[in-house]
Structure 1
Amino acid sequence: MTENRPQSHTEDTCSQNIQRLLKHAYAPETPDADFATRVANSLQAAALERAAMVKTSRPANTEHRAARHQHASAGNDWQTTMLRVGSIAALFIVAIGMFYGLRPATDTLYRDGDLVWIDGRAYTPAETKGPDGFVPAPADRINETTADVMRLVSTRGLTPRQLADPPTLQKAAVGDTISTSDTTRRRVTLPDGSVLYVNINSEAKIVGNRHVSVDRGEVFVEVNPVGELDPESGQESRQRFVLTTPGQEIVALGTKFAVDVRQQATRVQVTQGKVAISPVAASETTTNTNSHTSQSATTLVAGQQLTARKDALSDIAPAPPAAHELDWTRDLAATARSPLIPANEHTGGSLVVVDTQGQDVKLSLRNYHIDVYIEDGFARTTIDQTFFNHMPSRQEGTFYFPLPPDASLSRLAMYVNGKLMEGGMAERDYARQVFETIKYRQLDPALLEWVDGSTFKMRVFPLEPRREKRILISYTQRLPEMFGQLRYHFPAGYTMDQVRDWSAQIKIRHGDNWQWQSVSHAFDSKTEQDDLILTAKGHDIRLDRDLLLELTPPQSYTPQATPFASFATTFHDGSQYLQLRYWPHLSLPPRRERRDWILLFEASGDRDPIVARAQVEILRSLLENAEHHDTFSLLTAGTRMHAWRPQASDATPENITEAIAWLENSHLVGAMDVERAYRAIAPLVDSATNPTIVHCGSAVPILGEREDSKLVELLPNTAEFVGVGVGKRWNRDLMKLAAERSGGFFTQINPDEDVSWRAFELLGKLNTPRLLNITVTADNHATGDSEFRLFETSLSAGESICAIARYESSATLPTQVTVRGNLDGQPFVETIPVRQVAPRAEHLPRMWAKLEIQRLSALGLLENKDRIIALSKSMYVMSPFTSLLVLENDAMYEQYQVDRGRQDHWAMYDAPREISVVEEPTTDVPAPNDTSDSA
């Protein structure tokens, strides 16, 4: 028997460690297989060695194994402690690994039927005699355990999340004609598996299995690279795909290209692979795939375009970024993919109450009006909506509204007993406290809070029974722009119920001679002075489509245009603001370059399955749109590195499919060692001709070197670095430093975005010149608040720089500003004289405040909390620390010292100060979706 004595400090520490191990065993991770094997082997070897020290014989039956365990427990204290550590640690490795089938027993070291791994081989505890009490495990036992483990791993989410099966899409047959109107677009699968996108006002006919004829409009084709076997050589070759237009024939193999037929001309742009374009007689335009004309053909490769007419071909020219030219295919492509994250159930806005059964119920929507004001590349959007509480009792409602990611919410207003009450900006915690206090007194408050990056939540109390509630929300945003063309997108629906009265008005300031197009809604247009006004309305409709609008100014920027700039200014609260919008001249490359891709996929334990799936889809999109003569190497990184193949592979569809399947089965385990990952990349770069490194993950180092500058030095100078930060936690400084050093690029992609399209956009940016690390300074070398704040610090060809500075109202504006950056690894400097400054740009103050809040947040959210709150309250720009609060009357604003909403918002939506209170009888209570007219 062992001696009873107090536990030593060592034993106490040991017990605490064992408790920690057991605690973590309840939420295990999957370790690297090699690491777990080595640890398990070492522990088992130590246990066997300890057992061999026992000076007694070992019968092979189960009863003696129990006696052996009891005998080992009766050893000296040190030996007992070490055996406890070994046994419990082995248990922990088993719990986190789940690869080895070891399960703990209370009275024996191993239970009959369990698997024991020694030196990488599986054994079972022996019922018969053996040299070590073990016999090799049967193969079926190993396979059974492995299957159990894989089922456990797949259900525990230790690999990238699996996508649901994509929706079944329409498949066209030979002889079908695909026609679209001015509000419809189509995506169909062709008989050979190729995919055809058809834009508005277009018509295409399926002539043959791999033959399409386009008479008018615009199409985009993703050609399926179908192979056929040559009976003589026995080698496989790709079948040609033919697209004919009036007067032209386009022949492709496995490629992607766009064709636009209008005004007796055919414009062709190739985004992947190459095509041959040749004139063809009208009588030959319906021939089969293998009888195309033998006249001289012009070859067009990825990144090029030309326009063909009956009598001549234009010169081959660089094509604009594919993501810009094919933006119309974006929503069509999204419908063909399984969503990574389910659609937000509150898209477009919803007002939810809890019924007597404790279930969430959406209130019916009576009126829904969208009012948009667009000026100088910015938009103010107001949603004016009226809900109806169909329930016979007073309710508290929660209003959810997801906004575009770049939106800045600045106004909340609500009608209280028929009177318009503007929301005031207050510190978040104080606003919530005031709301609860007033709610307790059964009065009428509303509280709007920032839930996350793009979702806002507003609590409204009370919602009187059988009464309407009208709410107004306004936000501003900078519109996406490419080559001068603006795109407005309002998330109007997909989940909203039917609305009785819907309407929209969009005003484009100084837009009377702008071109506009909407494929989502039928708008009527008119002009007022020099403004363009678009209106639309509907009755008893479902909001099942987003509102989309494309705007093209009369002098939109083109790739061949010379640089130009515009300035605007305004005064506000004792300050003067100056805005620069600048389109630099960045020449497009003559053709798309070949690349050797080196793809680094983070598979560490901090990558949850959804984030890891986003990384998979990003790399899939990059590879599927890479050139077929590109090569790629694929590595997963965590504590250890794993390569898909030891050598680079061609970017063929077969290789891409196999590589993605390998990624989908990668285990998310261990800590990220960026140093080891970057060192592993070096040999791959040395063997590549034109290497491009794509780091997809967080780039947050946990193990190894953690200093950004030293990590960047590990990257070879001969490789272009592309950093893709996936998720909200990423090392922007490291990716930015590496991209600037190599003339590469960096960006952030979140799983709730269309990650495949974002990757497609990224590839387009990589194939055009990129201006990085942009700064804008004035000739007076202003510092502090007078420095320019930029919306983006990098851009590609076709995009513009937008920067805003704030000065004292008495200050003299600078006479010139200087734009600096890094263009393809070389310094970029442009000096721009400040002239023709447009006045009364009233959107500037709050846009500047938004940029300043972003800058302060990046410097340190908590460290700059007080400054962020003060700026948010003074400028009425929502922040993570502030909320908008609506109170019942002016006296309550004074009582709780909440600033009343401002009346000097840019392009403020004009709402009546008072309205009639609409209340209906309690008889014949309609259902939540009832849209009948009110009495």
Structure 2
Amino acid sequence: MNRISARFFSLLSLCLALGMFVTGSSQAAGLLTPNDGITPALKIKQHHVDVVIEDGYAITKVEQVFSNPHANDLEAIYSFPVPEKGTVAEFTVWIDGKPVTGEVLQKQQARQIYETEKQAGRDAGLTEKDSYKTFDISVSPVRAGQDLRIRFVYLQPAHVDTGIGRYLYPLEEGRVDEQKNAFWSGNDVVEEQFSFNVDIRSGYPLDAVRMPHQSQAIITQHSAGEWNISLGMKGGATEATLMDNEEAERKAALIPTTAVAAYSLDKDLVVYWRHQEGLPGVVDLVTHKPDANSRGTFMLTVTPGDDLQKITEGRDWVFVLDISGSMKGKYATLAAGVQRALQRLNPQDRFRIVLFNNRANELTRGFENATLENINHYINALVNVKPGGGTNLYAGIKHGIK
């Protein structure tokens, strides 16, 4: 595989060069549309999705094959969504049968190189995040009468709440901008092959996995914490099929290896899993360090045990607020959120309010009882705070937890 130096450039434009977190609604997944706005969207011949959910992360790999039936080479725009808190890890396009992998560059530099390569008649591509939280990739050329293969990979934190996990593969249109939707409304039907495969590897035992509204999905349990969901057939009923390993192997032998044709990419695919009841809490720690001389990162996932007793006594709350200059224009919304939270406290609760910019200070005098008088007093005090200065997040957190 070629690591691109001057052929293909993937732009993820944030201050960090290692990835971009995006949020918001999305367009239908994986559409390749000629950028002249006149030529119809290219046909989707294949669409394959492989997901691994493990150690608090979901890694999604998408591969698509498009067909250009037109007589001319085209410059096209490939648009795909990334879910909330997702970050793109890889983008590869096959041009003339050769894989070319994206490289992260500064936005202006990437744009200049893309234009230079395109004008020179060489293969080029450019990835940019648009204001609607999708990624747009300009690909040139898309060869006349040939197929174009695209693969991208993104990561996202696994969503688990009160023992229920949920993974969503976005396919529905976001309906964010009517003009853009009109441009992108095109072919969302897979002509030949579609497959969707999810591997769940949980350190916490699971007692159920389901995929609603997909009757042809095959759900297989390998162990207490390892499950697989496979979909490659046209669905019609409302429930998936649950099997053990032996039964899954028997049924797999009866299923064609190629997926059923004409699968419409117009509905989100959702997978749920449920932790077993009555188990103690679990702490999962995932670390990463590129090399011995670099600073590492970690992700800590805490799964509380469901054997904890319901809290009946009063609770202590600490609100840590950023009042630096960067919060001008945003502080009113932040203060309104704290106001709503204070108004929902129980009478036996207590609260503190910590403010920070260059340094941290406490608006309250230690823990205050959540009486109506105290709540109204500090709501008024918050309204009168004026943002300004720098940002010392560490000081704010340290003061808040002391």
TM-score, structure 1 normalization: 0.27
Distance in 2 separating the partners of 1:436 and 1:375:
40
2:231 is the alignment partner of 1:536: yes
> 2:67–2:146: 8 Å Cα contact kept in structure 1?
yes
Distance in 2 separating the partners of 1:348 and 1:392:
26
| Cross-structure match for 1:547 | 269
Q: CA deviation at 1:443?
A: 1.0
- Report the CA distance shift for 1:432/1:572 in structure 2 as closer, same or farther (over 3 A): same
2:151 is the alignment partner of 1:476: no
| Cross-structure match for 1:460 | 139
Match among 189, 193, 205 for residue 498 of structure 1 = 189
Q: Which amino acid is 2:275 matched to?
A: P
| Cross-structure match for 1:571 | 289
Q: CA deviation at 1:359?
A: 1.2
Distance in 1 separating the partners of 2:350 and 2:105:
39
Q: Secondary structure at the match of 1:434?
A: helix
What are the residue-to-residue correspondences of 1:664-675 with 2, within 5 Å?
none
2:181 is the alignment partner of 1:519: no
Distance in 1 separating the partners of 2:221 and 2:120:
50
| Cross-structure match for 1:736 | 334
Q: CA deviation at 1:823?
A: 11
Match among 100, 111, 121 for residue 421 of structure 1 = 100
Distance in 1 separating the partners of 2:119 and 2:335:
53
2:122 is the alignment partner of 1:443: yes
Q: Secondary structure at the match of 2:299?
A: strand
> 1:389–1:468: 8 Å Cα contact kept in structure 2?
yes
Q: CA deviation at 1:453?
A: 5.7
Q: CA deviation at 1:739?
A: 4.7
> 1:743–1:824: 8 Å Cα contact kept in structure 2?
no
> 1:743–1:825: 8 Å Cα contact kept in structure 2?
no
Q: CA deviation at 1:407?
A: 1.2
Distance in 2 separating the partners of 1:505 and 1:485:
20
Distance in 1 separating the partners of 2:66 and 2:264:
15
Distance in 2 separating the partners of 1:564 and 1:402:
32
> 2:48–2:63: 8 Å Cα contact kept in structure 1?
yes
Distance in 2 separating the partners of 1:823 and 1:481:
33
Q: Which amino acid is 2:213 matched to?
A: S
- Report the CA distance shift for 1:824/1:737 in structure 2 as closer, same or farther (over 3 A): farther
> 2:55–2:284: 8 Å Cα contact kept in structure 1?
no
| Cross-structure match for 1:914 | none
> 2:204–2:275: 8 Å Cα contact kept in structure 1?
no
Match among 302, 306, 310 for residue 582 of structure 1 = 302
Distance in 2 separating the partners of 1:734 and 1:470:
48
Match among 485, 497, 507 for residue 199 of structure 2 = 507
2:115 is the alignment partner of 1:395: no
| Cross-structure match for 1:485 | 164
> 2:210–2:219: 8 Å Cα contact kept in structure 1?
no
> 2:159–2:165: 8 Å Cα contact kept in structure 1?
yes
Q: CA deviation at 1:774?
A: 12
Q: CA deviation at 1:509?
A: 1.6
Q: Secondary structure at the match of 2:108?
A: helix
| Cross-structure match for 2:19 | none
Q: Secondary structure at the match of 2:72?
A: coil
Q: CA deviation at 1:505?
A: 0.9
Deviations 1:159-211 (A, max 9, x none): xxxxxxxxxxxxxxxxxxxxxxxxxxxxxxxxxxxxxxxxxxxxxxxxxxxxx
Deviations 1:234-266 (A, max 9, x none): xxxxxxxxxxxxxxxxxxxxxxxxxxxxxxxxx
- Report the CA distance shift for 1:487/1:448 in structure 2 as closer, same or farther (over 3 A): same
Distance in 2 separating the partners of 1:556 and 1:364:
50
Deviations 1:121-156 (A, max 9, x none): xxxxxxxxxxxxxxxxxxxxxxxxxxxxxxxxxxxx
Q: Secondary structure at the match of 2:289?
A: strand
Q: Which amino acid is 2:138 matched to?
A: R
Match among 374, 380, 388 for residue 53 of structure 2 = 374
Q: CA deviation at 1:576?
A: 3.8
Distance in 1 separating the partners of 2:80 and 2:286:
32
- Report the CA distance shift for 1:354/1:422 in structure 2 as closer, same or farther (over 3 A): closer
Distance in 1 separating the partners of 2:40 and 2:119:
23
Distance in 1 separating the partners of 2:40 and 2:312:
56
Q: CA deviation at 1:735?
A: 3.9
Distance in 2 separating the partners of 1:517 and 1:771:
41
Distance in 1 separating the partners of 2:116 and 2:284:
50
- Report the CA distance shift for 1:528/1:564 in structure 2 as closer, same or farther (over 3 A): closer
> 1:407–1:475: 8 Å Cα contact kept in structure 2?
yes
Q: CA deviation at 1:773?
A: 9.4
Q: CA deviation at 1:384?
A: 0.7
> 1:525–1:534: 8 Å Cα contact kept in structure 2?
yes
Q: Percent identity?
A: 23
What 5-or-longer segments of structure 2 have no aligned partner? 1-23, 174-184, 234-259, 314-322, 355-366, 372-389, 393-402
Q: CA deviation at 1:464?
A: 0.5
> 1:741–1:825: 8 Å Cα contact kept in structure 2?
no
What 5-or-longer segments of structure 1 have no aligned partner? 1-340, 591-707, 710-728, 746-764, 776-821, 827-857, 861-935
Deviations 1:70-122 (A, max 9, x none): xxxxxxxxxxxxxxxxxxxxxxxxxxxxxxxxxxxxxxxxxxxxxxxxxxxxx
> 1:416–1:444: 8 Å Cα contact kept in structure 2?
yes
Q: CA deviation at 1:398?
A: 0.5
| Cross-structure match for 1:910 | none
> 1:485–1:556: 8 Å Cα contact kept in structure 2?
no
Distance in 2 separating the partners of 1:523 and 1:460:
34
Q: Which amino acid is 1:551 matched to?
A: W
Distance in 1 separating the partners of 2:142 and 2:336:
54
Which has more strand, going by share of residues? Answer: 2
TM-score, structure 2 normalization: 0.59
Match among 346, 352, 362 for residue 33 of structure 2 = 352
Q: CA deviation at 1:552?
A: 1.2
Relative contact order: is structure 1 or structure 2 higher (C-alpha 8 Å, sep ≥ 6)?
2
Distance in 1 separating the partners of 2:144 and 2:349:
58
Q: CA deviation at 1:474?
A: 1.2
Q: CA deviation at 1:583?
A: 5.0
- Report the CA distance shift for 1:773/1:517 in structure 2 as closer, same or farther (over 3 A): farther
> 1:740–1:825: 8 Å Cα contact kept in structure 2?
no
Distance in 2 separating the partners of 1:513 and 1:583:
12
Which has more helix, going by share of residues? Answer: 1
> 1:520–1:548: 8 Å Cα contact kept in structure 2?
no
> 2:350–2:370: 8 Å Cα contact kept in structure 1?
no
> 1:377–1:479: 8 Å Cα contact kept in structure 2?
yes
Distance in 2 separating the partners of 1:434 and 1:367:
31
Q: CA deviation at 1:483?
A: 0.5
Distance in 2 separating the partners of 1:773 and 1:480:
29
> 2:117–2:123: 8 Å Cα contact kept in structure 1?
yes
Q: Which amino acid is 1:543 matched to?
A: L
Distance in 1 separating the partners of 2:165 and 2:369:
27
- Report the CA distance shift for 1:824/1:537 in structure 2 as closer, same or farther (over 3 A): farther
> 2:217–2:229: 8 Å Cα contact kept in structure 1?
yes
What are the residue-to-residue correspondences of 1:199-214 with 2, within 5 Å?
none
